[in-house]
């Protein structure tokens, strides 16, 4: 029985820049989240132990904001590429690895998505491990719906914590033919180290408003807003 090898396996790594034009802030841009919030206070386990109310309010605010935004043309173009793989218009496989905790990829229709830094619309119980979907506010005394103990935290990966799905991500990186980064500054590891990891066996492409910090890591850079550059790249791929 002849093995059907897909023509192309693509891993796309997305960051906050892909959701910027939907109205969600990035972290490091001038008016970004880190210009108003202290990383050590709101994005570390130590910060949560010190002041859980401050951290819960930070994520409650972002969760409320998420309800007011929609996927943009960049999210929709990636969902279209995945659909083209399913209905045979494109002979390939697409995996989206996102650092984003928003659900705009899924709302755009993407299914093959790994949230390596967690999800805003989930909380995690530190007593029983339950990770229920959560759309509203969560406070330090909010009881876990499974074990009823007041030990819920945002289901996100904070600095110093191990990212999620690393096994599946490492396997996909090892087997990809093309690696594409979209809207990420390449400053947070291990995500920032993926491009160097795949350079020996995959074509590397960066899509961003600005040139990458280390241009030599990329075979190709597409400079411009994600809502323009990502649909262009997908059309080119489907046209090829
Ligand atoms: C870990 C979740 C061990 C919560 C986040 C090696 C060297 C140095 C340090 C380290 C290292 N290894 C580990 C570390 C420590 C640390 C780290 O990297 N520190 C940095 C600051 C130096 N890493 C960790 O602690 C990680 N854990 O390493 O565990 C381990 C490792 C491997 C395997 C097993 C165990 C955990 C880090 C996760 C932290 N949590 N988020 C939340 O969201 O609140 S990180 C958070 O910040 C995001 O998830 C994202 O990852 C990062 C932000 O980066 P971007 O998404 O790129 O956003 P940014 O604002 O920076 O840039 C936006 C870009 O978009 C810009 O380039 C801009 O030009 C562009 N843009 C803007 N608008 C547009 C656009 N592009 C196109 N179109 C537009 N319209």
pLDDT bin (cut points 50, 70, 90) of residue 99 is: very high
Is the confidence at residue 1, as pLDDT, over 60? no
Architecture of domain 8-239: 3-Layer(aba) Sandwich (3.40)
Does the Cβ of 225 fall within 6 Å of ligand 1? Answer: yes
pLDDT of 85? 96
Does the Cβ of 17 fall within 6 Å of ligand 1? Answer: yes
Protein residue whose Cα sits closest to atom 57 of ligand 1: 184
pLDDT of 5? 61
The pLDDT tens digits for 160-194 are: 999 999 999 999 999 999 999 999 999 999 999 99
3-state helix, strand, coil in the chain (%, to 5): 35, 20, 45
pLDDT of 30? 84
Is the confidence at residue 214, as pLDDT, over 70? yes
C-alpha 166 – ligand 1 centre gap (Å): 15
Q: What is the domain partition of the chain in residue ranges?
A: 8-239
226 is in an annotated binding site: yes
208 is in an annotated binding site: yes
101 is in an annotated binding site: yes
Q: Catalytic amino acids?
A: 117
Which runs of E-coded beta strand occur in 146-198?
A: 152-156, 178-182
pLDDT of 239? 84
| Cα torsion 186, 187, 191, 196: sign | positive
* Backbone angles phi and psi of 17, in degrees to 5: -65, -25
Protein residue whose Cα sits closest to atom 73 of ligand 1: 17
pLDDT of 220? 98
pTM, full prediction: 0.97
pLDDT of 31? 84
Does the Cβ of 41 fall within 6 Å of ligand 1? Answer: no
pLDDT of 29? 83
- The pLDDT mean for the chain works out to 96
The pLDDT tens digits for 37-50 are: 999 999 999 999 99
Does the Cβ of 184 fall within 6 Å of ligand 1? Answer: yes
Contacts of 80 (CB under 8 A, 6+ apart): 109, 234
Protein residue whose Cα sits closest to atom 48 of ligand 1: 99
Which runs of E-coded beta strand occur in the chain?
A: 8-14, 92-98, 113-115, 118-125, 152-156, 178-182, 203-208, 220-223
């Amino acid at each position: 029985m002849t093995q059907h090898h897909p023509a192309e396996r693509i891993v796309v790594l997305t960051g906050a820049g892909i959701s910027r034009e939907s109205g969600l802030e990035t972290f490091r841009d001038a008016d970004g989240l880190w210009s108003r919030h202290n990383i050590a206070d709101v994005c570390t386990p130590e910060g949560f132990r010190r002041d859980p109310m401050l951290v819960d309010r930070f994520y409650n605010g972002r969760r409320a904001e998420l309800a007011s935004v929609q996927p943009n043309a960049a999210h929709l173009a990636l969902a279209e590429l995945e659909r083209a793989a399913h209905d045979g218009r494109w002979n390939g496989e697409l995996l989206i690895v996102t650092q984003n905790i928003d659900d705009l990829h899924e709302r755009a229709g993407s299914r093959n998505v790994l949230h390596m830094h967690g999800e805003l619309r989930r909380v995690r119980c530190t007593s029983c491990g339950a990770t229920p979907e959560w759309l509203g506010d969560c406070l330090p005394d909010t009881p876990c719906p499974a074990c009823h103990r007041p030990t819920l935290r945002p289901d996100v990966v904070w600095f110093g914590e191990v990212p999620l799905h690393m096994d599946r991500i490492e396997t996909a990186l090892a087997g990809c033919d093309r690696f594409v980064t979209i809207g990420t500054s390449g400053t947070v590891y291990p995500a920032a180290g993926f491009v160097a990891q795949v350079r020996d066996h995959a074509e590397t492409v960066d899509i961003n408003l600005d040139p990458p910090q280390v241009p030599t890591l990329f075979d190709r850079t597409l400079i411009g807003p994600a809502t323009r550059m990502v649909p262009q790249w997908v059309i080119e791929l489907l046209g090829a």
